[in-house]
Amino acid sequence: MIRKYTYGKPVQTDATVIPVSTASGMPAPFTVTETECGEIFVYEMDKADAVFGLGEQLRGMNKRGWIYDSWNYDDPSITEGRSCLYGAHNFILIFGKKMFGAFFDCGGKVTFDIGYGDPDLLTVSAKDTDVYIIEGDSALDIVKQFRTLIGQSYIPPKWAFGYAQSKWGYKCEADIREVFEGYKKNGLPLDMIYLDIDYMQDYKDFTVNKERFPDLAALSAEFKSEGVRLVPIIDAAVKVEEGYSVYDEGVEKGYFCTDAEGKPFVVGVWPGDSVLPDVLNPEARLWFGSQYKALLDRGIEGFWNDMNEPATFYSKGTLQHALAEVAKAVGKNLQVEEYNEVTGNFHRLANNPADHDSFYHNAADGRHVHTDVHNLYGYNMTRGAAEYFAEYAPDKRFLLFSRSSYIGLHRYAGIWTGDNCSWWSHLRHNIAMMPGLDMCGFLYAGADLGGHGDRTTEELMLRWLAFGIFEPLLRNHATQGTRDQEFYVFKNKRAFRDLLGIRYAILPYLYSEFVRCAKTGDMLSRPLCFDYPDDRRARTVEDQLLIGGSIMIAPVVEQNADGRYVYLPARMKMIRMKAGNRYTERIVEKGEYYIEVPLDEVVFFLREGKVMPLAKPAENVASLDEEHLTWLKFITQPAQFTLCRDDGITKSSLEKIETVTVEP
C-alpha cells in the first residue's frame, strides 16, 4: 500500500514511474511540523527498530545512530564523520514491530537524523517534497513495492559482469597495452580496461588525444577481438573554447546553465574555465547525450560519467575574489585570523553553496536555481546518454554508470561509489552499503576494488576480491600516484587467478539472479534479517550478506586474519572454493562458527532447498561456457532455478529466460 503526500511545490524529479494521487492529512506514522525552512517529519522509534536504506551513504547497514544529508558531494576524504557522499537516495525502511518504507522525493537537500540528536527519534527535514509511505507484509514486500514504483533497474551487457582494470594514470596506448599484456601473460581473466581523463585532448569531452591514442577505433577493435573492451570516462563540465564544437553549439543553442543575467555560468574543472550542460532541460540533455556518438562511432560500448554532482573546483567569480584578497595581503604582517580569512577563501572555493545559488536550469517544469535541483544533475547527465544510446542502437545494451545519482538514474545506468581508500574499514563499508543501494534500485553497483586512494596491500586486495566477486560491478581502480595494484604486480598471482576464476564460475548465477531481481523488484544483496525477520541475532550482522536466492556470503575483513566468525541463521551447506572448479562442501547447523578462510579461497553458504549453477572458470565473458553447467545443490526434492542465457548484448534477448529443474 502506497500513499503520497505533497509539501510545498516539489520540482519534477521523474523518480517514479507509477502515478499515485496525493492523499490529504498527515503521512502517518510521521508527525509533521511546518517551519520557514520546510517541513520536519518525526517518527518515534521503538528501542529495537533498525533503519535500512539511504543507498550510497556512510556508516553501517543499519543506519540508526547517525545523521545523513542527501546532498551530492565530491570530497575524496571519505571518513566516518562525513554526512554525505555522491548520491541522494532518499528511501528508508523502518524495520521492527512496525514496518514501513518512506521515500522523500525532493531535488534539493534532505536531512535524515536517525537517532543522532535524540536516540529514539527519526527526524527528516525537507522542503518542497513529495513523501511516499509504503506499508507491506515484510521488508522484502515493502522494497518490492518501492522498486515497482520507481521502475525497472538497468541491465548492462553481460560482459560488464566481467573483471575490469582501471587507474587514473594510464596515459597512452602503450600504458593500456601493458595492462592488457600483464593480464594476458599471467593467465588472469579480464573483460575491460578503463580510460581515465588523460585520453582526452586538453580534458575536452568527446575528444581523443591523437598523440597518445593515434587510432582509438583500431585499438578498441583489436582488444574487442580478444574479449576486452575499452571504457572511457566522460566528465560533466565542458571546456570553454571557441572552435570546440561542443562548446560552440551549446552556447548557440542555450544549452548551458546560466547565471542570473542569462550568461553561461563559468566554473573551473579539469580544462580550466568550463560550463555545465543544462541536463535538466530535456532538449539539452539529449543533445549532450548525442555527443557520445563521437566515441560510439569508434566502437566504444561503455562509459563512466564523472564529476557530475556537479563537482567544481571553483567558479570564475569566487576564484577572482580569492585572488584579489591575496593580492591585497601581499607585504602585510597578517595576524592568524587574517591569515585564516585570506586562505579560507581558497578552502571554500570547491563546490561552494553560494555558487549553487548563482546558476540556473531551464528544466522541463520551469526555471530553477541549482540549489533546488542539485541532486538531480548527475542523474540527468547519465539519463541523456542512455536516451541517446536508445536512438543510436535501439536494441543494444551499453555499459553506463555514474558517480553522482538520484533515484531514477537506476533505470538508465549503474553507479560506482566514488573515491574510497585502501583501508579495511572501506572494505567493510563496501559490504554494508550494498543492500541500501539495492533497495533504491541500484543493482549494477560496486566500489573501487582495493581502494581508490592510499596504499593497498596484497592481502587487502585478495580479501577485497574475495568479496568483490559477488558484486555486479567488479572494477579495480585507483587514483594517480598510488602504488600499482594491477593483479599481475603482486607476488601471489596464482591466488588472484583462482579468485577471479571463481567470479567467472559463479557468473551464470550472479547474472541470472541479477536479471531476475531487476525485472521483479526483488533484492539481489540483502541483510540477513530481511529473509530471517524473527532472528534477533541476524538483525545485528553487518558483514554478511545474502546474494540472490541461494547463497549467503561472509567475507574476511580483518588484516592478518586466518578466518572469521560466521553466523548462520539457518542450516546451510558450506562451500569452500579453491578455484572456480575445485570445491568441498559440508553441512553446517544454525549457529556461530569460526571458519578458516585462506587468502586464496572463497567460502560461502548454500541455503537449504536451493541450487546454484556453476560454469568453468573463463578468460572473459565471451569465452564463458554456459552450455555445460554443473550445479551446487542442497536439496532432497527437485528444485527450480531461472537461468538467463541471453546473448548478453541485446535488450530483446533478455526475454530468454529458462526455468531449469534440478534433480537432487
- For ligand MIG, the binding residues (CB under 6 A) are 168, 196-197, 233, 306-307, 403, 418-419, 477, 479
Give whichever of 307 and 506 is closer to ligand MIG, judged by the CB atom.
307
Residues 142-176: b if buried by 16+ CB within 10 A, e if exposed:
bbbbbbebbbbbbbbbbbbbbbbbbbbebbebebb
* Cα atoms in the Cβ-side hemisphere of radius 13 Å centred on 197: 15
| Distance of closest approach, residue 379 Cβ to ligand MIG, in angstroms | 17
Residue number closest to ligand MIG, CB atom: 168
| Distance of closest approach, residue 270 Cβ to ligand MIG, in angstroms | 8
In sequence order, the 6+-apart residues with CB closer than 8 A to the CB of 492 are 458, 462, 599, 600
Give whichever of 102 and 311 is closer to ligand MIG, judged by the CB atom.
311
Give whichever of 381 and 439 is closer to ligand MIG, judged by the CB atom.
381
Q: Tell me which residue of 35, 5, 1, 45 sits closest to 22, measured CA to CA.
A: 5
Give whichever of 168 and 183 is closer to ligand MIG, judged by the CB atom.
168
Grid cell of 512 as nine digits: 541470472
Give whichever of 92 and 233 is closer to ligand MIG, judged by the CB atom.
233
Main-chain dihedrals φ then ψ at residue 69, nearest 5 degrees: -110, 135
Give whichever of 307 and 639 is closer to ligand MIG, judged by the CB atom.
307
| Distance of closest approach, residue 389 Cβ to ligand MIG, in angstroms | 22
| Distance of closest approach, residue 169 Cβ to ligand MIG, in angstroms | 9
Q: Which residue has the cell 554532482?
A: 309
| Distance of closest approach, residue 482 Cβ to ligand MIG, in angstroms | 10
Grid cell of 656 as nine digits: 530468454
Give whichever of 305 and 375 is closer to ligand MIG, judged by the CB atom.
305
Give whichever of 455 and 590 is closer to ligand MIG, judged by the CB atom.
455
Main-chain dihedrals φ then ψ at residue 315, nearest 5 degrees: -105, 160
Q: What is the 3-state secondary structure (H, E, C) of 186-211?
A: CCCCCCEEEECHHHCCCCCCCCCCCC
| Distance of closest approach, residue 74 Cβ to ligand MIG, in angstroms | 7
| Distance of closest approach, residue 553 Cβ to ligand MIG, in angstroms | 26
Q: Tell me which residue of 649, 657, 658, 620 sits closest to 155, measured CA to CA.
A: 649
| Distance of closest approach, residue 537 Cβ to ligand MIG, in angstroms | 37
| Distance of closest approach, residue 229 Cβ to ligand MIG, in angstroms | 18
User: How distant, in Å, are the alpha carbons of 444, 642, 650, 662 from that of 645?
Assistant: 18, 10, 12, 16
Q: Cβ(62)–Cβ(79) under 8 Å?
A: no
| Distance of closest approach, residue 85 Cβ to ligand MIG, in angstroms | 11
| Distance of closest approach, residue 205 Cβ to ligand MIG, in angstroms | 12
Q: Cβ(104)–Cβ(111) under 8 Å?
A: no
In sequence order, the 6+-apart residues with CB closer than 8 A to the CB of 408 are 13, 14, 15, 16, 150, 151, 379, 383
How far apart are the C-alpha atoms of 630 and 604, rounded to whole Å? 17
Give whichever of 69 and 235 is closer to ligand MIG, judged by the CB atom.
235
Q: Cβ(576)–Cβ(601) under 8 Å?
A: yes
Would you state the torsion angle of the CA atoms of residues 453, 457, 462, 467, taken in this order, to the nearest 10 degrees? Answer: -30
Give whichever of 212 and 477 is closer to ligand MIG, judged by the CB atom.
477
Give whichever of 15 and 236 is closer to ligand MIG, judged by the CB atom.
236
| Distance of closest approach, residue 30 Cβ to ligand MIG, in angstroms | 35
Q: What is the 3-state secondary structure (H, E, C) of 576-634?
A: EEEECCEEEEEEECCEEEEEECCCCCEEEEEECCEEEEECCCCCCHHHCCCCCCEEEEE
Q: What is the 3-state secondary structure (H, E, C) of 111-156?
A: EEEECCCCCCEEEEEECCEEEEEECCCCHHHHHHHHHHHHCCCCCC
Give whichever of 123 and 482 is closer to ligand MIG, judged by the CB atom.
482
